[in-house]
Structure 1
């Protein structure tokens, strides 16, 4: 039995190379049990490689991965506690969704058939149609249902819900939050649709070029960046001393996104100077942070630079 304070997932100086490409470069993370994490980043940032290693589907070139204190690679006991659903999840073509769910029920000790049945109805999934005859959206629904109904201690979704339409994705988000409230577990969501999942996330990890750029509680990120808009000279004077994430300018007007929390004194000063302050949504914060990191020389400690 794991100790209550033990991380669900611990990663230490993880590196992964494919010939001359470095996919992961010194990744260190500790994910706590029973929280919803967002693993965010561009295509090719290293997200899928990291998730594959975390779930025992691959192995690192160096470094260490521990799932509840044990290495997941070729460890059947640990792997039985993990559910990893990919966007391109493969199933036997002659299977039906019903057969896929029966197979999953045999593998996952906490499988909830009642939850699976409810999700089948929510997504209007044809249970007896062959997998090879399903639409992309229906295939996505199969993966989402397995991921949720498995109730695995660690559940990792690598964008399997991208094939769902907007209504079906919202059903997934709603059902995920409802079931997590009743049955907490460690959930990792990878997605390009950052604004859609922003309200689900308790913790955000941003990766780019194989390195961690952000590793923060979602609550601490909200309000951690501000867009300052107004006369260019006044804006530049106001933001002096803050880390700049992005600049836009048109004539005498400028809009600058800065990293930092503004207190009431700074906000009052901005109003007196005729400046407009706007909150930065999570998606824009991720994009601006990634672009700013690319424009700067490497930092030994990204977290300190972001505070």
Structure 2
């Protein structure tokens, strides 16, 4: 497949802080990506640079083979939906959708009307008087109905309640199946989006921790539960991500896929295996990375 986004050694500095630190990645067309990580990890900074709303301090950025800044050929093919999107004081949702229909060449008004009904969005109310959930619905509708070649969702759906978020996920998947494009979902609701995304990009402290297909990620770790001595013996030569203990019973999450023989060995030892969800894996990896960074900083001191 052809890469629609290519980033090499991208760095963004704010005074003495690195929001992005030597980031390199390639994003291919017609796939759903999850850009995952904690608040402040660098997700919004990365998307802002890719959509020409911010500037890199160093490195190269190419979208559709070109730098996006002041590039109408690139920007007309991108939709960036963010929770903090600003609108004129007197603008209503209908004004916002009309403007979007003029900008995005693939805009589907019939689909937009369906989404307006799905989210029960009041069309005559000014946007500034909408609830947080209704404001989120405006962004979601623009992001979906635009059918831009690359659509970035920077957590604009967090204002939606659980039912409305599920409507968003369902409509996104249904429309993507019929009209494939590149969709990048930024979220820290990892378990909620785990069944949507085909590729996982995890960013933490401005660095890429993971950049893999979702299917490959799911088997990267496993949790072993049972008698402390037996578990400790089994995990002795493995990379431990997390450990919990309750008396003589311990639960240890280790990195690495297990073969069928290894699974049989664990079971025969009287230990239990538990799967690790995508959210648990990412949380453990970021915790481990944070601990290693703190240790390195202490050694430098």
Q: Give the secondary structure class of the aligned counterpart of 1:72.
A: coil
The corresponding residue for 2:50 is: 54
Q: Give the secondary structure class of the aligned counterpart of 1:200.
A: coil
The equivalent position to 1:18 in structure 2, one of 11, 14, 17, is 14
Q: Does 1:183 align with 2:179?
A: yes
The equivalent position to 1:264 in structure 2, one of 247, 260, 265, is 260
Q: Does 1:170 align with 2:186?
A: no
The corresponding residue for 1:221 is: 217
Q: Give the secondary structure class of the aligned counterpart of 1:8.
A: strand
Q: Give the secondary structure class of the aligned counterpart of 2:96.
A: helix
The separation in 2 between residues aligned to 1:6 and 1:263, in whole angstroms, is 34
The corresponding residue for 1:85 is: 81
After superposition, the C-alpha distances for 1:40-60 in whole angstroms (9 at most, x for unaligned) are: 011111111001011111110
Extract unaligned runs of 5+ from structure 1: 299-307
Q: Does 1:250 align with 2:242?
A: no
Structure 1 segment 1-307 matched on structure 2, within 5 A = 5-296=1-292
Q: Give the secondary structure class of the aligned counterpart of 1:156.
A: strand
After superposition, the C-alpha distances for 1:278-297 in whole angstroms (9 at most, x for unaligned) are: 00011111100101112236
Indicate how the Cα distance of structure 1 residues 297 and 191 shifts in structure 2: closer, same or farther if over 3 A, else same.
closer
Q: Give the secondary structure class of the aligned counterpart of 2:23.
A: strand
Extract unaligned runs of 5+ from structure 2: 295-301
Shift of 1:231: 1.1
Q: Give the secondary structure class of the aligned counterpart of 1:100.
A: helix
Maintained 8 Å contact 1:11/1:66: yes
The separation in 2 between residues aligned to 1:198 and 1:24, in whole angstroms, is 24
Maintained 8 Å contact 1:205/1:212: yes
How many residue pairs were aligned? Answer: 294
Shift of 1:224: 1.6
After superposition, the C-alpha distances for 1:168-207 in whole angstroms (9 at most, x for unaligned) are: 0000000000000001110000111110110000000000
Q: TM-score, normalised by structure 1?
A: 0.94
After superposition, the C-alpha distances for 1:113-171 in whole angstroms (9 at most, x for unaligned) are: 01100000000001111111111110000000000111000000000000000000000
Q: Give the secondary structure class of the aligned counterpart of 1:26.
A: strand
Shift of 1:249: 1.5
The separation in 2 between residues aligned to 1:293 and 1:110, in whole angstroms, is 42
Moved over 6 A (4+): none
Maintained 8 Å contact 1:6/1:68: no
Shift of 1:223: 2.0
After superposition, the C-alpha distances for 1:230-262 in whole angstroms (9 at most, x for unaligned) are: 111111111232211111112222111111111
The corresponding residue for 1:303 is: none
Q: Which moved more, 1:145-154 or 1:248-257?
A: 248-257
The separation in 1 between residues aligned to 2:62 and 2:233, in whole angstroms, is 48
Q: Give the secondary structure class of the aligned counterpart of 1:274.
A: coil
Instruction: Report the aligned-residue RMSD.
Output: 1.1
Q: Give the secondary structure class of the aligned counterpart of 2:194.
A: helix
Maintained 8 Å contact 1:26/1:211: yes
